[in-house]
Amino acid sequence: MTTARIDARFAALKAQGRAGFVAYVMAGDPDAETALAILRGLPGAGADLIEVGFPFSDPMAEGPPVQRAAQRGLKAGMTLKGTLELIRRFREGDAETPVILMGYLNPLDTWGLEPFARAAAEAGVDGLIIVDCPPEEAGPLVAALEAADLSLIRLATPTTDDKRLPAVVKGTSGFVYYVSVAGVTGVKEADAAAVAPAVARVKAASGLPVAVGFGIKTPERAAEVARVADAVVVGSALVDEVAAGLEMNEDVTTRVLNKAAALAKGVRGAREGRKDGDG
Amino acid sequence: MNKPLPNDYSAWPDANGRFGEFGGRYVAETLMPLVLDLDAAYAAAKADEGFKAELGSLRTHYIGRPSALYFAERLTEVYGGAKIYLKREELNHTGSHKINNAVGQILLARRMGKTRIIAETGAGQHGVATATVCARFGLPCVVYMGATDVERQKPNVFRMNLLGAEVRPVTSGTATLKDAMNEAMRDWVTNVADTYYLIGTAAGPHPYPAMVRDFQAVIGQETKEQILAAEGRLPDAVVACIGGGSNAIGMFHPFLTDDGVRLIGVEAAGHGIETGAHAASLTGGRPGVLHGNRTYLLQSDDGQILDAHSISAGLDYPGIGPEHSFLHDVGRAEYISATDQEALAAFQQCAELEGIIPALEPAHALARLPEIAREVGKHGVVVLLMSGRGDKDVNAVAEHLGRRI
C-alpha cells in the first residue's frame, strides 16, 4: 500500500508537533537533469513531501508562473513518461519522501488509466492530484489508481460548500488539498485567518490531514498558514526561482533549493514557542 | 432525467452531461459548484414561460428572426444537382448565428443575478455578439481573444470596443482561440461570485454544450418549417461548417430523428489533413479531455494539445463540441473537410454567383456543396447553413489573393 509513505510522513509530523512543507517542482523545468537535481536536493532543503508537476499544454487552473514552467518543460521535451522516469531516479536515493504527481487528465487518458497507474506505482509515486478531474468524473481514475494502490488526492476549495464537501472527500486517502483562494495558482494571496476555519471544516469532514496551497509565496505567509494547517504547499514561488535563475544566468538548482530552505524554515518554526494541541 | 434510448439521438445528454462517452464536466473543483448552479438555473429558465417569452421577443425584434431560407438559383444551376437553399444566419443582427446564443445566455445571466460577463472569441463574431448583448443590458464585458486573432480580426476588435467591451489579448500558449478559452476559465475561477462565463460554442463543461445547442436549435427548427413551406418536404441533406460546431448542431439537432435527412459537417482542413496543419478534430484527431469536456481533439502522442490551423479564425480550434463527437461515432452525421484554398475559391464563387459574401467559416461548407448537390441529384433538396457574413474577412481574403486594399 503506497499511501503508507504519505500516512507515515503525516504521523511523523504530528509527533514532531509541526506542519509539513510541500514543495512543487515542474518536471523537465528547465530540463530533465536540473529538475532531477532539484528533486534530489529538496528533502535536504526541508521539503517533507514533494509535488511533481507534469507539463500540459493547456493548464487551465495555473497562473503565469506555472504556465511558464510547463512551457519550459514541454520545450525541453518532457512527457508524462519522462516525468515517471525522473521520479524513478529520485526514488533510487530516497525511499521516504512522499511524491505526489500533479497535473491534468488528458496525458493520463492518452496513456490509458490502468497502464499509467501501474507505471506510476512502479516509479515510486504515492498519490495524484488531477486538477480537471472532479469527483463527478473521477470514477474510472479512482478505480485504476486503487488497483495500483495509489491515492487520488482530492481538492477542496472556498466554493466547496458544506453540502458538497462530503462527496468531495468521500473515499479519499492520504490527505486533502485545500485550495486557499478562488483563483489560479500563484496570483491572489492566501488569507491565513480565512484558511483556519476552512481547514477545520475539511478535516472534520475527511478525517485526514489537510495541506493548504495556492497563493503562498513567502516564508512569513507560509509560517502563518503552518499554524493552522497540517502542511503548506508552495509552487509558483519555487518555479519563479527557475525563471529568475535562467534570466540572471545563475545556478537554477541552488536558487530553488535556497528558496525551499527559507520556506521550510518558516514552516518549521511556525509553532515554536506556541502551545499547540492540534497536529 | 430518463436514460435516453440508444437509438434516439435527440435525447442526449444524460443527467451527467454525457453524449454517449463524450461531454461531462471536467473542471477544477472551484468551478464545479458554479457549473452545477448553472445547470439548475438553466433547467429552471427553460421551463419558465416568462423566460421563453422574453427570448422570443428578442429573437423577433432584436436579432431579426426568423432568418430567411433562400433558394440559391444560380449555385443550383452551376452545380447541376439538387436544389440548393441557404439558411441566412448572416442576416442576423451582428452578422452571424452567434447572437442566438448570446441573447439566450445573457437572459440567463441576468436571472442568476450575475453582474459581469466574460467570453472567449476566435474570429471575433462571438465576442461581438457578447459585447452587443452586454451593451443592450448594461453589463460590463471582458472578451479574451488570442493575440494572433486580435491581429487578423482588427475590425471586430474595434467593433467590440465600440460596444463598450474590453478586449484582452491572450499571449499564453499559441495565442489563439483555445488559449483565449483557457484564459476565460482562469478569469471565471478567480471571480466566482459575480461573473458569468458566456461560452460561444457548443463545448465546455455541461450544461454548456446542451444549452448552446438549445439556443442555436432555432436555426434547424425554422429551417424545417421553411423548407416544408417551400418544397413540401424535408431536405435530403443539411450542410454546415464546424469549428466548435454550435451553428452545425443548431441546424442538425431538430433533424436528428428524421432518418432521411443527411447531416453533413465540414471541418477546416487548413493546408491539408496530411500536412498536419489543419483544424479537423474528427477527421484528424482522437478523443481526449480539454476545456471541461471529453471530445475529439488534435493532440500529440503524449496527450499535449496541438495547434490547429485554418484560414478561418472561427474554425481554428483543436477540439469540437462533444455532441458532434457522439454523432460522428454513432454514424448519424457525416464529417468531411475543406482546405483553406477550397474555402477561398468557394468564398469568391458565392460572392460572384449569389451576391452574398460569406464568412470564411461557411465558405468551407460551400466548398463541399458541388459534390453534395450532385450526389443528392436533380430532384433533391440541400440546405446550407450560411452562418455568417464575410465583411470581417475581406482584408484577410484580399491578402491571400495578393490584392492591396
pLDDT in tens, B31-45: 999 999 999 999 999
| Residue A147 belongs to a domain | yes
For the cut 90, the answer to whether the pLDDT of residue B405 exceeds it is no
**Beta-carbon separation of B190 and A188 below 8 A:** yes
Least confident of A111-125, A162-176, A252-266, B72-86: A162-176
Query: Model confidence over B58-67: pLDDT tens digits?
Result: 999 999 999 9
Q: Cα–Cα distance between A79 and A76 in angstroms, integer?
A: 9
pLDDT (tens digit, 9 = 90+) per residue, B52-109? 999 999 999 999 999 999 999 999 999 999 999 999 999 999 999 999 999 999 999 9
Q: Does residue B98 carry a catalytic annotation?
A: yes
Distance (Å) from the C-alpha of residue A131 to the closest C-alpha of chain B?
5
- Is the pLDDT at B160 greater than 50? The verdict is yes
- Is the pLDDT at A275 greater than 70, yes or no? no
ipTM surpassing 0.90, yes or no? yes
Residue B71 three-state SS: strand
A170-199 pLDDT tens trace: 988 999 999 999 999 988 888 888 899 999
- Say which of B186, B290, B301 has its CB closest to residue A184: B186
HEC profile of chain A: CCHHHHHHHHHHHHHHCCCEEEEEEECCCCCHHHHHHHHHHHHHHCCCEEEEECCCCCCCCCCHHHHHHHHHHHHCCCCHHHHHHHHHHHHCCCCCCCEEEEECHHHHHHHCHHHHHHHHHHHCCCEEEECCCCHHHCHHHHHHHHHCCCEECEEECCCCCCCCHHHHHCCCCCCEEEECCCCCCCCCCCCHHHHHHHHHHHHHHHCCCEEEECCCCCHHHHHHHHCCCCEEEECHHHHHHHHHHHHCCCCHHHHHHHHHHHHHHHHHCCCCCCCCCCC
Q: Which of B96, B325, B337, B387 is catalytic?
A: B387
Q: Give residue A153's pLDDT band: very low, low, confident or very high (50, 70, 90).
A: very high
Name the pLDDT band for A271 (thresholds 50, 70, 90).
Answer: confident
Classify residue A66: in a domain, yes or no: yes
Taking the CA of residue B328 and the nearest CA in chain A, the distance in Å comes to: 20
Task: Assign B176 a pLDDT band (cuts: 50, 70, 90).
Answer: confident
- In B, minimum Cα distance to A159 occurs at B30
Best mutation site among A54, A131, A132, A160 for testing chain B: the one with the most B CBs within 10 Å?
A: A132
Which is more confidently placed, B313 or B7? B313
CATH number of the structural domain spanning residue A104: 3.20.20.70
At B116-153, the pLDDT tens digits run: 999 999 889 999 999 999 999 999 999 999 998 898 78
Q: In the prediction, which pLDDT does B175 show?
A: 87
Q: For residue B314, what pLDDT is reported?
A: 87
What percent of chain B clears pLDDT 70, i.e. is strictly above it?
A: 98
When scoring B16, B26, B183 by the number of chain A Cβ atoms within 10 A, the one with the most, hence best to mutate, is B26
Most A CBs within 10 A among B30, B183, B188, hence the mutation to make, goes to B30
pLDDT tens-place string over residues B249-306 = 999 999 999 999 999 999 999 999 999 999 999 999 999 999 999 999 999 999 999 9
- For residue B347, is pLDDT > 70? yes
Q: Cα–Cα distance between B374 and B354 in angstroms, integer? A: 19
Strand residue runs (E) in B214-301: 237-242, 262-270, 286-290, 292-297
pLDDT, mean of residues A79-98 = 98
**Are residues A210 and A229 in contact, defined by beta-carbon separation less than 8 angstroms?**
yes
* In a domain? residue A84: yes
Residue B5 above 70 pLDDT?
A: no
pLDDT at B396 over 60: yes
Residue A163 has pLDDT above 70, yes or no: yes
Q: In chain B, which among 233-292 make CB contacts under 8 A with chain A?
A: 288-292
Q: Based on the structure, what is the number of domains in chain A?
A: 1
CB contact under 8 A, A182 and B297: no
Quote the pLDDT of residue A1: 42
Residue A103 has pLDDT above 80, yes or no: yes
CA distance B295 to chain A (A): 11
Q: Is residue A274 situated within a structural domain? A: no
Q: Which residues constitute the domain of residue A105?
A: 4-268
Asked if residue A275 belongs to a domain, the reply is: no
Q: Is the pLDDT of residue A277 over 50?
A: no
CB-nearest to B302 from A79, A131, A160 is A79
A52: in domain:
yes
In whole angstroms, what is the distance from residue B238 CA to residue B387 CA? Answer: 13
The answer to whether residue A279 scores a pLDDT higher than 90 is: no
Measured between alpha carbons, how far is residue B267 from residues B8, B209, B317 in Å? 25, 18, 10
Averaged pLDDT, B369-396: 96
Q: How many CB pairs under 8 A join A and B?
A: 116
From CA A192, how far away is CA A169, in angstroms rounded?
22
Question: Which chain B residues have a beta carbon less than 8 Å from that of A55?
Answer: 304
Quick check: B299 contacting A, CB < 8 Å? yes
What is the reported pLDDT for B2? Answer: 55
pLDDT digits (tens, 9 = 90+) for B178-204: 999 999 999 999 999 999 999 999 999
pLDDT attached to residue A274: 60
Dump pLDDT digits (tens) for B212-239.
Answer: 999 999 999 999 999 999 999 999 999 9
Digit-coded pLDDT (tens) for A130-148: 999 999 999 999 999 999 9
Distance from CA of A199 to the nearest CA of B (A): 16
Q: Is A248 among the domain residues?
A: yes
Instruction: Look up the pTM and report it.
Output: 0.96
Instruction: Please list every residue in chain B whose beta carbon sits closer than 8 Å to the beta carbon of residue A74.
Output: 304
- A155 in a structural domain: yes
Per-residue pLDDT at A211: 98
Is A58 within 8 Å of B291 when comparing Cβ atoms? yes
